Chain A
Amino acid sequence: MRGRFLLLAAVLFVPTLQAAQGDERVAAPLQLFTPPPAGSYSLPPIQMAPRGRVLDEAGRTHALSEFVTGRITLLSFIYTHCTDPTGCPLAIYTLAQVRDRLAASPVAAEGARMVSLSFDPEYDTPDVMRLFAKTFDTAGRKPAWHFLTTSSLAHLGPLLEGFGQDAAVADANGARRLDHTLRVFLIDRRGRVREIYSSAYLMPEVIVNDILTLAGEGSAR
Chain B
Amino acid sequence: MINPNNRLCILSAAVVAAMSLGGNAALADETCNSPYTTALIKGQEDYVHVWTLGVKDLGDGQDKLVTLSVNPKAKDYGKVVSSVSVGGRGEAHHMGFTDDRRYLWAGGLSDNKIYVFDVGKDPAKPKLTKTITNLGEKSGYLGPHTFYAVPGRMLVGTLSNVKDKGGVTGIAVYNNKGDFVAKYDVPTASGGDGYGYDVAINPAKNAMLTSSFTGYNNYMRPLGELIKDGEAMKKFGNTMVVWDHKAMKPVKVLAVPGGPLEIRWSLKPGDNWAITAAALTSKLWLVKQDKGEWVAKEVATIGDPAKIPLPVDISITANGKGLWVNTFMDGKTRYFDLSNPEAPKQTYEKVTGKQVNMISQSWDGKSVYISSSLLENWDKGGADNEQFVRAFNWDGKELTAAFDVDFTKEKLGRAHHMKFSAKPR
Residues of A at the B interface (CB closer than 8 Å) are 24-27, 29-33, 35-36, 40-41, 44-47, 82, 84-88, 90-91, 164, 166-168, 170, 177-183, 193, 196-201, 206
Contact = CB atoms under 8 A, between A and B. Distances in A.
B151 A197 contact: yes
Minimum-distance CB pairs A-B, first 3: A87-B9, A41-B247, A179-B6
Interface stretch (B31-39, B344-352, B369-377, B395-403): B31-39
A30 B21 contact: yes
Contacts of B177: 47, 164
Interface of A is mostly: loop
Which of the four size classes fits the interface of chain B?
35 or more
Given A87-B8, A201-B203, 7 more contacts: A25-B20, A32-B204, A40-B247, A84-B10, A86-B11, A179-B7, A182-B11
A107 B236 CA distance: 51
Given A44-B181, A164-B176, A29 B153 contact: no
Interface in B176-206: 176-177, 179, 181-182, 203-206
Contacts of B9: 82, 84, 86-88, 177-180, 182
Nearest to B23: A30
Given A46-B181, A47-B179, A196-B151, A166 B102 contact: yes
Contacts of A206: 246
16 contacts: A29-B19, A30-B19, A30-B21, A33-B204, A45-B181, A47-B179, A84-B9, A87-B10, A164-B152, A167-B7, A181-B100, A196-B153, A198-B36, A199-B16, A199-B19, A200-B11
Contacts of B244: 36, 41
A59 B20 CA distance: 39
**Which of B13, B177, B181 has the most chain A CB atoms inside 10 A of its CB?**
B13
A29 B203 contact: yes
Given A47-B175, A196-B153, A41 B248 contact: yes
Nearest to A87: B9
B205 A86 contact: no
A198 B7 contact: no
Given A35-B246, A44-B181, A181 B16 contact: no
A181 B246 contact: no
B16 A33 contact: no
Contacts of B21: 30
B321 interface: no
A38 to B, nearest CB: 11
A200 B203 CA distance: 7
B81 interface: no
Interface in B33-71: 35-36, 38-39
Given A45-B181, A90-B16, A199-B11, A170 B6 contact: yes
A86 B204 contact: no
A126 to B, nearest CB: 22
A29 B151 contact: no
A138 B246 CA distance: 30
Contacts of B246: 35-36, 41, 206
Contacts of A197: 151
A183 B151 contact: yes
Nearest to B24: A200
B182 A44 contact: yes
